[in-house]
């Protein structure tokens, strides 16, 4: 998804991802500054992405366990 792409042109999935990303930026103090810092590497961004995904997977697993009772 391009930063210049108008929201109207986004697919439903891209729009959802954009909303989740904006929520993360608002929830985590300084997160946007860290991501846009000149000193952050692609490896750092990938590591952050993996940690977020791990947290999402863990939360989903917890929800599934709670449903099973």
pLDDT in tens, 59-69: 777 667 677 76
pLDDT in tens, 12-58: 999 998 999 999 999 999 999 998 999 999 999 999 999 989 988 88
Domains in the chain: boundaries: 1-37, 41-69
DSSP annotation string for the chain: --TTS-GGGS-HHHHHHHHHHHHHHHHSTTHHHHHH-TT--HHHHHHHHHHHHHHHHHHHHHHHHHHH-
- Exposure string for 13-30, b = 16+ CB within 10 A, e = fewer: eeeeeeeeeeeeeeeeee
Tokens representing residue 47 in the block: 């590591």
């Amino acid at each position: 998804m391009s930063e210049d792409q108008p929201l109207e042109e986004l697919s439903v999935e891209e729009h959802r991802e954009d909303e989740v990303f904006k929520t993360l930026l608002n929830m985590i103090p300084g997160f946007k500054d860290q991501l846009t810092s000149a000193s952050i590497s692609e490896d750092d961004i990938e590591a952050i992405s993996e940690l977020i995904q791990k947290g999402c997977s863990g939360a989903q697993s917890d929800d599934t366990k709670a449903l099973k009772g």
